[in-house]
Structure 1
Amino acid sequence: MSVRRLVGHEMRSLHSLGLWVLRRRHAVPEGALAVPYTGPQTAMMYGLLFVSLVETVMLALLVPWPVVHGVLLVLDVYGVVFVLALHASCVTRPHVVDADGALRIRYGGRFDLRIPADAVTGARVERRFPEGGPVLLGADGVLDLVVGGQTTVTVELAGPVEFVRPLGKRGRARAVRFHADDPGAAAAALTRGRRAPSPNQDPRGPA
């Protein structure tokens, strides 16, 4: 199951590389707010890319055996494509706040959590620096989706929501924290959506 999920992650990343070249985004509806989150990791990604390119050139100059050189070249090229595809998947798959306040939190093609508008009870800008991996569930039931070692938006929920970790393990969170490059805009959009009348509600109120 984990292998299948990893292959799925890779395929989505490669698809995102094509979207990145075409300057398109994945699943951002008209009227929704796209919330980028790649700011803290962009320099690191390009640093990894530079190191991979230097390694490829150095090995091409130093390895004298054609077969070994060919294998290493394939691995190095794959490494370069992997880094580019991972960054592209994060750029083309931003978080999304729908017009009604529904929230979709993503990390590239590896994490995807949809939270209905009626499940969001509040949102605020709050910068935190959790320690650990990118997907953390604390003992208090708060889910942190960390980018570059930080989160900047806290979302309060009406009740626990279920999420799926990158390798398939499930969990439940009573609140969510994630990173947004513009946390103020994300929190404001969630607040506006929460206050907006539903499509079946008369905006004038009861008669």
Structure 2
Amino acid sequence: MNALRKARLVAAHEGRTAVSLGLWAVRRRDGVGGGTEGFGYARAQASMLYSLVFVAVIETAGLAVLLSGFPVAHLITLVIDLYGVLFVLGLHAAAVTRPHTVGPAGLRVRAAARLDLLIAPELIASVRRDVRFPAAKAPDDVLELPIAGQTSVTVELTEPVGYRTLLGAPRHTRTIRCHADDPAALIASVRARCYRRRNQPERPLTPARTAPSAAPVPPPSAGPAAGARAGAAARPGRRRRGR
């Protein structure tokens, strides 16, 4: 059952990657618009992935020539090589079409099609530029999302936030290190939108206005004289003038 669940998660990841290829073809980005800004992070890895695509294409052409006398082997390797080319292109497309976003709901940190983590504004303690080149495994409460071996933005949270890995393993993080093509713009947007919403004071409640109280009504047994005295008591008194 566990293996079946992991297979479903991998298939879902492949589906998101395929959708990203379609979005990339029509130059659209997921989750951007309607008051939500997008901040890309794929520029640093573009040259490397395009180089891999070029090598994969050359390999596909070379194997097609070498295996031209073996139709079955040729077909198998052709399918595998084409899948490899599409997979590498899909990785880049997912990174381009699924950027980090900042909007009314908070900061949305992404890593292509494998991670999508939404952080509410009230959970962001600080955000700063912090260039790192992680080489060792990060602590359990630190989520590192390097691009081309580097991160440039560090987000500290007020409390741990849960997420799941590609294969569904539960994790919690209190520090997020990610990369952005323009770290200064991302940091400025988070500080302007998330900090302002988090620190916005609550508006005081306005007390409800009520109508003025009516004059007391005398009991029926008091007679008209008592009613007159009660009405006179309800009206503001006048100061007598001396004669």
Question: Which letter does structure 1 place at the counterpart of 2:153?
Answer: V
Q: Distance in 2 between matches of 1:50 and 1:177?
A: 31
- Residue 196 of structure 2 corresponds to 196
Q: Is the 8 A contact 1:113 1:163 kept in 2?
A: yes
1:121 to 120, 125, 139: 125
Q: Could you list the runs of 5+ residues in structure 1 that have no partner in the other structure?
A: none
Q: Which residue of structure 2 lines up, in the alignment, with residue 86 of structure 1? A: 91
The answer to whether 1:109 aligns with 2:110 is no
Q: Could you tell me whether the CA contact under 8 Å between 2:155 and 2:176 is conserved in 1? A: yes
Structure 2, gaps ≥5 residues long: 207-243
How far does residue 99 in structure 1 lie from its aligned partner after superposition?
Answer: 4.4
Matched, 1:52 2:56: yes
Contact 2:37–2:102, Cα closer than 8 Å, also in 1:
yes
Match of 2:212 in 1: none
Evaluate the alpha carbon distance shift between residue 57 and residue 197 of structure 1 in structure 2; reply closer, same or farther with a 3 A threshold.
closer
Cα separation, 2, equivalents of 1:138 and 1:40? 25
Identical aligned residues as a percent: 41
| 1:34 aligns to 2:35 (yes or no) | no
Q: Deviations over 1:165-184 (max 9, x none)?
A: 11111111111111111011
What is the TM-score when the length of structure 1 is the normalising length? 0.90
- Give the distance between the partners of 1:114 and 1:197, measured in 2 at CA: 16
Distance apart, 1:201 and its partner CA: 4.1
- How far apart are the structure 2 equivalents of 1:201 and 1:183? 31
1:108, 1:75 → 2: CA distance?
22
| Inter-partner Cα distance in structure 1 for 2:151 and 2:205 | 40
Aligned length: 200
Give 1:197 shift: 4.0
Match of 1:75 among 56, 77, 80: 80
TM-fit CA distance, 1:137: 4.5
Question: Is the alpha carbon distance of 1:2 and 1:197 closer, same or farther for their aligned partners in structure 2, counting shifts above 3 Å?
Answer: closer
- Residue-by-residue CA offset, 1:56-102 (whole Å, 9 max, x unaligned): 110111112111111111111111111111111111000111146x1
User: Alignment partner of 1:155: what SS?
Assistant: strand
Q: Which is bigger in relative contact order (C-alpha 8 A, separation at least 6)? A: 1
Larger Rg: 2
Q: CA deviation at 1:30?
A: 1.6
For 1:70 and 1:194, the matched residues in 2 are separated by 53
Structure with greater strand share of residues: 1
Provide closer, same or farther for how the CA distance between residues 32 and 200 of structure 1 changes in structure 2, counting only shifts above 3 A.
farther
Alpha-carbon offset, residue 111 of structure 1: 0.8
